[in-house]
Amino acid sequence: MPVKFLVTAVQSMNCESLFMDHRPMVDKTFQPLWTFCGFPPNRGTVIRNGIPFSSRHWEKKPTEVMRILFVGRLTRRKGLHIVLEALSSLKDREWSLEVVGDGPQRQELEALAGSLGIQARVTFQGFRDDPQGWMAERDMFIFPSLDEGMGLVLMQAVQVGIPVLASDIEPVRELVGEEASLVTPGDVGRWRQSIKEVLSGEKNPPQFDPQAVPTSKDMAGSVCRFLESVIDSSR
């Protein structure tokens, strides 16, 4: 994250006086670190991470089976075990789950899918280098993280335009807005109900505004404008 290095550079260089009024901050989740470093909590300028522009674009396709996609590192904090448990109670519905990613919990999650009796519907694809290509071709993306900094794969999903079910955690709300329909993290019952409502057609999964995701070019522009304002204020 380039802005992290910018913060480090500000601390290490003899230019503290230039940044008395404002300092760069990647997103609101950095607030505790901000305070710990001795920075005034109300004097941060948020410069949100950007991602490369993608030409991939999701379009709804007619299908009898809801093709659900998870992308991420397979660790407990990503919350995939919660979704597997939720889906195990929805065996009477038409769905499949593809898991793109790898990690230390893969064997445990594969075993969990087996013990829940859903292994035939859950496919572990391993690591893939084009997650947005997968997102553009599936019906719904799930982001069940229990905790996150700034979720890169969520930003990629929103940029592509695929409908998303996501955990109600601060970085997600910062990206998609306070009014977004999100799911309680770690709550199997809530995830089961939310997925059931989508599968039954009671509700459509949220589609968030792709314009909410800054590109790398947007982020670079924000950094430049921030530095220009600091230099101007020091003159």
Q: Which two tokens stand for residue 119?
A: 């292994």
Q: What's this model's pTM, rounded to 2 decimal places? A: 0.76
CB atoms within 10 A of CB 134: 22
| Residue (of 86, 74, 79, 54) closest to 158 by Cα position | 54
Task: State yes or no: pLDDT of 221 exceeds 80.
Answer: no
Average pLDDT on 40-64 reads: 73
Find the radius of gyration of the CA atoms of the chain. 20
Question: What are the sequence ranges of the domains in the chain?
Answer: 2-50+214-234, 66-212
Task: State yes or no: pLDDT of 12 exceeds 80.
Answer: no
| Residue (of 80, 66, 109, 71) closest to 195 by Cα position | 66
What would the pLDDT profile of 143-201 be if each residue is shown by its tens digit?
999 998 778 899 999 999 999 999 999 888 888 877 678 999 999 999 999 999 999 98
Please tell me which residue, 197 or 19, carries the higher pLDDT value: 197
What would the pLDDT profile of 63-86 be if each residue is shown by its tens digit?
889 999 999 999 999 999 999 999
Which region, left, alpha or beta, applies to residue 98 given φ > 0 means left and ψ of -120 to 50 means alpha?
beta
66-212, what's its fold?
A: Rossmann fold (3.40.50)
Give CA angle at 26 (24, 28), nearest 5°.
Answer: 105
What would the pLDDT profile of 103-141 be if each residue is shown by its tens digit?
999 999 999 999 999 999 999 999 998 999 999 999 999
What would the pLDDT profile of 87-97 be if each residue is shown by its tens digit?
999 999 999 99
Highest mean pLDDT among 10-14, 165-169, 229-233: 165-169
DSSP assignments along 69-138, one per residue: EEES--SGGG-HHHHHHHHTT-TTS-EEEEEEB--TTHHHHHHHHHHTT-TTTEEEEE--S-HHHHHHHS
Q: How large is the angle between the packed helices 80-87 and 106-115, nearest 10 degrees?
A: 10
Pairing of strands 164-166, 140-143: parallel
Query: Would you state the pLDDT for residue 183?
Result: 95
The span from the CA of 196 to the CA of 28, in Å, is 32
Q: Which two tokens stand for residue 70?
A: 């998870």
